[in-house]
Amino acid sequence: MNFGVQGAKSMSMPSSSASWKSGDGVSDHFPVGLRVLLVDDDPTCLMILEKMLRNCLYEVTKCNRAEIALSLLRENKNGFDIVISDVHMPDMDGFKLLEHVGLEMDLPVIMMSADDSKSVVMNGVTHGACDYLIKPVRIEALRNIWQHVVRKRKHEWKDLEQSGSIEDGDRQQKPSEDADFSSSANEGSWRNSKRRKDEEDQAEERDDSSTLKKPRVVWSVELHQQFVVAVNQLGIDKAVPKKILELMNVPGLTRENVASHLQKYRLYLRRLSGVSQHPGGLNNSFVGPPETPFGSISSLNGLDLQALAATGQLPAQSLATLEAAALGRSTTKSGISMPFMDQRNLFSFENPKLRFRDDQQPQLGNNNKQMNLLHGIPTNMEPKQLANLHQSAQSSFRGMNMQPNSNHHGNQSSSLLVQMSQPPSRPQMFNDTNSNHFSMIPSSIAQPTLPSGMGSGVLARNGIVENARGAIYNSASQASTMVDFSINQNTDLPGNGFLLANNAGGQMATVASKGLLQEEVTSEMKGSRGLAPSYDIFSELHQHKSQDWGLPNVGLTFDASQHSNMRGGLDVPPSVLVQQNNVQNRITPFGKAIFSAAEESGRGNGPNIGQQLDTLLAGNSLRVKAESLPEASCQNTLFHEQYNQEDLMSALLKQQEGVGPVTNEFGFDGYALDNLPV
Amino acid sequence: MERSQMYRQLANMRKALFDQGFLDEQFVQLEELQDDANPNFVEEIVTLFYRDSTRLIHNIEQALEKNPLDFTKLDSYMHQFKGSTTSIGAKKVTNECTQFREYCKAGNGEGCKRTFEQLKKEYALLKKKLEAYFQLARQIGPVESACRPK
């Protein structure tokens, strides 16, 4: 396939499309790149506001007529994160526009007016405006408009959660995050979930820190292992951040860091358990490579990790790294980011997983246990993801699931190929890294389940080739929190789309993936095994790479690819991606994003990855498949150095080719969590 | 040095505009938006304002000539106009707009017309002052010529 070409393209594409791309290498990019649609008939005000918004580092589109605004919004479903509109306009009343936007696009709308009379303001409130600004508008008032995007996503997530099949078992303190992870959010537009996820993640990250620019804690492999050890010591149910922090005894680590990481971890575990509950048909087809689980764990290099793990090439460390990365990255989105991978793993290993699970612990009930096994890679709701994957195939993608699987995607395929030969190797690896986790896992079976849980995408990635679908989804999630977002959404989308895009377009994927996923999933199941994993592999690789190489944008790319791209429109994103990805919103084709991200990461161009992802995402919202191809190519580049996956990848990719075309439906720019048209 | 003199002169002009109530804090917001990428941002905005508001002024004038006066329409026009004036920080002009709207609400046609005349005067006066200000600023060059106000 033209992976190489695509990959190159995607890579080279500027991240302009990414909504959440960050200008500089700052870790916290959100809300940079927030896509604002500005509507005001007054040219003076329009120009001033545009300049102000640009100074806030937002992406601004201005128009002076409400009709134009509406058509822009309709044409580019996930092209914007927020709308700011004047109340008094000649062609259409601002409130009417507000109504339309609320009904059709469900974007947050801020009203403005020089009129500060109570009645007008009240009118705004009743029409559903999320804020009302009095003219003259000061730049300070515009700096915080991102909160509305986050808030809305958060609420959407909650809604999805409630209506979705997410287990409320251990809803974390941040339900929104959970929601994303549980992928039950698939119902909603992936974009929303993705964006929300990204934003939530970002917001959550923010919540943890008092300032916006708090430095991110990178959850390295060692750190994560320490964390897992501490959690297991305390018992997953009794593990509270404070105690974990004490046990870990890591200077500089705050309780907040631990708390958010724990949340992700829990999500991951939940996913794992969730997967077991959904033995879906997918698994059957993918049953097989137990190795995949490894892959997922190391969302970082999704494919590689798993594959490597399987082949024993991948050092346990790397897996752990991946996991850590996955988890770390996904701090914001931990749950989501992995979905891609997880899903894959979930699916592919579904059977084994389920078995595993049963053996080890009751499916949902023992999520914790399983989690522990896996090593607590909470991020990717692997179990869920896997389940989702299955579900997705069945049209019940949970938001997250899709994503994580995507990651797996790459892994899966690769892992599938690789692992098939060495199923037992994986578990070993994990064990090494996650002492507690892997030991439990029965050679192959264990793996898959774990990865899914891993969410971080990385994990998921590797293992499940079979769950290519899942992988795709998950991989996206890995990258960034944003991804997670998208993942959720994506999960709904056909596996195909997600698998690839998962990493990147987690977000995008969800939306688009819904439709595609299902198709893709099935197709993947059928024969794209090889393909699916490729995505994951890539994404994982990507992730891994970033981690290993300490790419500055690691988080970004990771997320970016996953989230940003996915987000694309959204947003979303992103966002907040674990590290930096704006992913948010653009949910460009996940696959691509992942690829690009992977490629980038491989090359050490962290930042680019995010962008690429965006590109990818934008391009192929759901066409994960198509994208996966490029990813495969990317992977080759990335991994060959490390893993010799090239052959595997290409093989996988080829398989994938059949998957769906990659279309850039997502235009999400990272932040914006692109709205992938489903 | 001539340049420094010009700087001083510019700063004084600016200060006077604020002290005399022609401009308010919003103008500072515009100044802060000016950067290397948009070195003449403030001037561009003001130019745009005057160009665009001519249309509105014209509409209001026409509406004021009608009999009977349509206060709703007048209020609506003035509301639009006020949105612009507040955005550039034209304090005195904005005050006249507010007054005008009060008269509209009260249905006071005479009051509206009187106020409108005053408004036009302030509007023209500000334009002259700002034109002189920008001209001097351009002479000085793209350097940061104005110091922060007050």
Structure tokens belonging to residue A527: 């024969």
Cβ <8 Å between A45 and B87: yes
Contact call for residues A374 and A454 (beta carbons, < 8 A): yes
Domain membership of residue A201 (yes or no) is: no
Say which range, A22-36, A60-74, A205-219, A376-390, has the weakest mean pLDDT. A376-390
* A41 inside 8 A of chain B by CB: yes
Count of other CB atoms within 10 angstroms of residue A251: 5
Contact call for residues A42 and A230 (beta carbons, < 8 A): no
Domain boundary among A236, A254, A273: A273
Domain housing A129: 35-160
For the stretch A77-130, pLDDT in tens is 788 999 999 998 888 888 888 888 888 888 899 999 888 788 888 888 888 899
Cβ <8 Å between B84 and A136: no
- More confident of the two residues A397 and B80: B80
CB contacts < 8 A, A to B, total: 59
- More confident of the two residues A587 and B39: B39
Same domain, A119 and A228: no
Structure tokens belonging to residue A635: 């992977």
* B49 inside 8 A of chain A by CB: yes
Domain membership of residue A383 (yes or no) is: no
Same domain, A244 and A147: no
Task: Kindly indicate the confidence band of residue A256, based on its pLDDT and cuts at 50, 70 and 90.
Answer: confident
Cβ <8 Å between A47 and B44: yes
Asked whether the predicted pLDDT for residue A433 surpasses 70, the reply is no
Separation CA A36–CA A448 (nearest Å): 41
- More confident of the two residues B114 and A402: B114
Evaluate the omega torsion of the peptide bond into residue A136 and state whether it is cis, within 30 degrees of 0: yes
For the stretch A409-427, pLDDT in tens is 434 333 333 334 444 444 4
Q: What is the ipTM of this complex?
A: 0.91
Cβ <8 Å between B86 and A52: no
Domain membership of residue A560 (yes or no) is: no
Same domain, A232 and A125: no
Regarding beta strands A570-571 and A59-63, do their DSSP bridges make them parallel or antiparallel, or are they unpaired?
unpaired
Q: Nearest CA of chain B to the CA of A503: how many Å? A: 36
- Among the listed residues A557, A634, A565, A624, the one whose alpha carbon sits nearest the alpha carbon of residue A593: A565
Cβ <8 Å between A48 and B83: no
The pLDDT value given to residue A126: 87
| Single-letter amino acid, residue A292 | T
The pLDDT value given to residue B23: 95
Domain boundaries of chain B, sorted by first residue: 1-27+40-140
Domain boundary among A273, A301, A334: A273
Q: How many separate domains does chain A show? A: 2
pTM of the entire predicted model: 0.41
Interface test with A, best of B23, B29, B95 (most A CBs within 10 A): B29
Residue of B nearest to A52 (CA): B33
Domain membership of residue A125 (yes or no) is: yes
The pLDDT value given to residue A164: 56
Phi then psi dihedrals of residue A84, to 5 deg: -120, 125
Third-level CATH fold of B1-27+40-140 = Four Helix Bundle (Hemerythrin (Met), subunit A) (1.20.120)
The pLDDT value given to residue B147: 53
Interface test with A, best of B44, B81, B84, B100 (most A CBs within 10 A): B84
Cβ <8 Å between B86 and A51: no
Same domain, A231 and A139: no
Q: Which residues of A573-601 are buried (b: 16+ CB within 10 A; e: fewer)?
A: bbbbbbbbbbbbbbbbbbbbbbbbbbbbb
Q: Across all residues in chain A, what is the average pLDDT? A: 54
Separation CA A59–CA A54 (nearest Å): 6
Domain membership of residue A56 (yes or no) is: yes
Q: For residue A148, what is the domain's CATH number? A: 3.40.50.2300
* A91 inside 8 A of chain B by CB: no
Residues of B in contact with A142 (CB under 8 A): none
Same domain, A50 and A154: yes
Q: Return left, alpha or beta for A568; rule: phi > 0 is left, psi -120 to 50 is alpha, else beta.
A: left
Work out the percent of chain A whose per-residue pLDDT is above 90: 8
For A338-424, where are the alpha helices, taking DSSP H only?
Answer: 339-348, 350-360, 367-374, 382-393, 399-414, 420-421
Domain membership of residue A172 (yes or no) is: no
Same domain, A131 and A232: no
Task: Kindly indicate the confidence band of residue A190, based on its pLDDT and cuts at 50, 70 and 90.
Answer: very low
Cβ <8 Å between B80 and A88: yes
* B102 inside 8 A of chain A by CB: no
